[in-house]
Amino acid sequence: MGVDLYRHKKQLDIYGIGSLEESLKVLYAKGGYVSTFRADDFFHTDGLGHLEVITTKPVEPLSVEYIEDPVGELRKAGIRFRFVDAGEDRHKNTGRKKT
């Protein structure tokens, strides 16, 4: 999952099985946490995607916030969801039927 911050494309690609709503329930039904870290603790290096960074040391978050309804908050922020059925993709290249 990810939001493309470079193109300001407010869309999350949800890879799941069944349906978007089922997958969102599995991912977010129990709420979630947002942790904030210092940007200086992370860096980009070869081999990472253009939105990926790493650190070489343990880091403590500056803050941790519990979000009771992450899907609702994302929708309020204008984020759209695109469902990709991972069950369908998994069987395309094997020639096997989905069970």
pLDDT in tens, 60-89: 999 999 999 999 998 998 988 989 898 875
Tell me, yes or no, whether 63 and 84 share the same domain: no
Residue keyed to tokens 């997958």: 23
Claim to verify: residue 60 and residue 85 sit in the same structural domain: no
pLDDT attached to residue 66: 97
Strands 63-67 and 80-85: unpaired
pLDDT tens for each residue of 4-55: 556 667 888 888 889 999 999 998 999 999 999 999 999 999 999 888 899 9
- Give the range of the structural domain holding residue 5, as residue numbers without chain letter: 1-29+69-99
Cα–Cα distance, 54 to 28 (Å, whole number)? 25
The domain total for the chain is 2
Are residues 23 and 6 part of one domain? Answer: yes
pTM, rounded to two decimals: 0.64
Q: Say what the pLDDT of residue 12 is.
A: 86
